[in-house]
Structure 1
């Protein structure tokens, strides 16, 4: 009997090995010093195997983020019962992560989304109506913190879009700036 695996089983094992190798290298080397060659060596696959699934380093990183293999704890939106405090903390944390991870990470994700419709759709879904952001905003409606008819998709897109714009323009946001940002998007507190 042969040890040789066939078809999807082998492909899925290689795909997971690549994602895990990417997460390890990202954690130890950072985005800027991570290469596709290094990922291939770490995963024990060829570069061709990587490029079969991911056209660029940005697309590979996007998949790792979407599968919660990168920065899962840092990017999780808290739910303390105070939506404004939660969004403020989340935004400030995102900027701290971007500062540590390197601004080229965000630019690469944007490029990957621009190059590949599927990557863009998956990033939009993860940050939009199918995400913890929308779930958190819905719980704020249930708790009376936001109007019952609050436009959740638009609020989410305004928050994420503004974060992207600030990051691309290399503007940092501290806790106080994040609080002003949340007020600008959600409006003044109802309390």
Structure 2
């Protein structure tokens, strides 16, 4: 009887993530945040909802905030992209309206608001939020305003960073306090700050 050689060992994937499990974790975190709020969100609950081991989550993410950041980054790219090509006054106006709807009607908007709130009293969350999400997005928003200014679509009263703060700040404030910003207020901010041609 010939000796049978053992089946070759499957190479270990180490820290490489299984894409289906990764997406299940991101969706579970997103859903649980909307259902129960940030305070009640736990790694145990995420693991249970996603159908993965708790150890798997800890191998990939050090905290629930990092999971939420990954969720926010992916969902924002899909549902609230910063216009990257042509920058007209109307494209910028549309982006601001989309941002307001994102914060008030999209589960990913709830994730953004939860991270903003958590960042107010956790320096680590604030640092990661700025490095991974806010900084890169702000660069793209700034570039959008500069492109529109360069081609004469808008004539902002303030520098690009102050303009972004003045446009986005009221939208975020209203969302954090549980209200939507009236379209007339958005239009007034847009007209006064950007002075579209």
Q: Which consecutive unaligned segments of at least 5 residues does structure 1 have?
A: none
Q: Which consecutive unaligned segments of at least 5 residues does structure 2 have?
A: 1-7
Aligned residues: 178
| Greater Rg by CA | 2
Q: State how far apart, in whole Å, the 2-side matches of 1:138 and 1:175 are.
A: 24
| Offset from partner CA, 1:94-113 (integer Å, 9 cap, x none) | 22222223574333121444
| Offset from partner CA, 1:39-93 (integer Å, 9 cap, x none) | 424655322332452422x432222222x2x14343123466422x223222222
Give the direction of change, closer, same or farther, for the CA distance of 1:81–1:55 in structure 2 (3 Å limit): closer
Matches within 5 A, 1:12-161: 12-14=16-18, 16-25=19-28, 29=31, 31-33=33-35, 36-37=43-44, 39-41=46-48, 45-52=52-59, 53-56=61-64, 58-66=65-73, 68=74, 70-78=75-83, 81-83=87-89, 85-101=90-106, 104-114=110-120, 115=122, 116=124, 117-129=127-139, 131=140, 133-147=141-155, 151-161=159-169
